[in-house]
Every structure is written in structure tokens, then in C-alpha cells.
Amino acid sequence: MSIDRQDGGGDGPRPRVVLVCGPAGSGKSTHARRLGRDGYVVLSFDAAAWSRGHRHHPLEADVALEVHALLQRELLARLAAGDRVAVDTSFWSRASRDGYRALLRPLGVEPVVHHLDTPRAVVLERLARRRNAGPDDVVVPPERAAAYLDGFEAPTPDEGPLVTFPGGPPCGTVELNSSPEEK
């Protein structure tokens, strides 16, 4: 685990951008809402897709690209306005995280990845309870959930600033002023 004191895991300055990373059901949206209560503007892939009428995952590739383009435009606009931003999407591959890093690099912004390292059994149990009641409750069939978990590329410290939350954050209890092992 990598904890950088400027990454939201310590007492130093908060990062301008947090990439909330983990497979479906890992607790990303709960974590992002906590960041929102801490002053971050939250940009959610699932909320953006839901608002456009997409109720099932995975999205078609062209639709997913369109939603990411929308999030990236909003991210740049929010940064230009001086906001701190949390981007809530799976960031399932290093390539997806690197794409956002490349977008931010010309601005001199280095995002911090908050990786929700939630046990497989917990993720599968959470996904089994979903009922398609909203953007954070999109049903993911068991075979798709397994594929998401099997294909997930966990971030590593060599990518850049990283905070790993083992087990995922319990609902509403993520404390950004302490490192995960201090809880």
C-alpha cells in the first residue's frame, strides 16, 4: 500500500482530483459520497449513464466512451473553476487510469487513486442485493460480476499516488484525515 501525505490519506493538503477505483460493488459510490461531503465535486459514471436512460451494464462501447468524454469535459470545467473533484468509475484497467492522468498532466494535476480493495465475497453479496432502483443499484448478473472481478487490474504504487482501502469503506465511515491502517 502506498500512502502519500498529500493524497487525502493524511493531514496534508487534499488532492485536486481523486480517481475512485474498484469493481462494481466495491463501495466506490459510498466512498465518493463521503468525498462529496468533504467538499469534492463528485462526477459519477453510473449517474451520468443513468441520467441518459442507460439501465443495464455493460454499456455499449460507444456509449461508455461518450459517458467518459462527458465526465472528462466536466472534470476539466470543474478544475478550471477551482473545484476539487472525485471521479467515481471503476477505473478497471491501468489504461483507463492512465487516460485520465494524461488528460490532467497538461494542467499540472496529478490525481490520487483511492482503490477500494473489497473481498470478492463481499462484492458478490452486495451485487446480489441490487434491484436497479438507481444509478448506484444497477443489477450486475453473477456471470458479469465474476468477469468484472476477474478482469480488474488493481492499481500499483508505480502508477502514481495511491491510497488503498482494504475491505472497502464501511458505509459512511471513511475518515480522510487518517490512514486506513489507523482505523
Residue pLDDT, tens place only, 107-122: 999 999 999 999 999 9
In angstroms, rounded to a whole number, what is the distance separating the alpha carbons of residues 23 and 155? 12
Q: Please, are residues 176 and 38 in contact by the beta-carbon 8 Å criterion?
A: yes
- 17-165 classified as CATH 3.40.50.720: no
Q: Is the pTM of this model over 0.75?
A: yes
In angstroms, rounded to a whole number, what is the distance separating the alpha carbons of residues 87 and 115? 12
Average pLDDT, whole number, for the chain? 87
pLDDT at 58: 87
Confidence of residue 12 (pLDDT cuts 50, 70, 90): low
Q: Is the peptide bond before 58 cis (omega within 30 degrees of 0)?
A: yes
DSSP 174: -
Cβ-proximal residues to 92 (8 Å cutoff; 6+ apart), any chain = 23, 148, 151, 152, 153
| pLDDT tens, position by position, 134-169 | 999 999 999 999 999 999 999 999 999 999 998 754
pLDDT at 166: 81
Q: How far is CA 149 from CA 5, 26, 117, in A?
A: 29, 10, 11
Query: What are the residue ranges spanned by the domains of the chain?
Result: 17-165
Most distant CA pair in the chain, distance? 42
Confidence of residue 127 (pLDDT cuts 50, 70, 90): very high
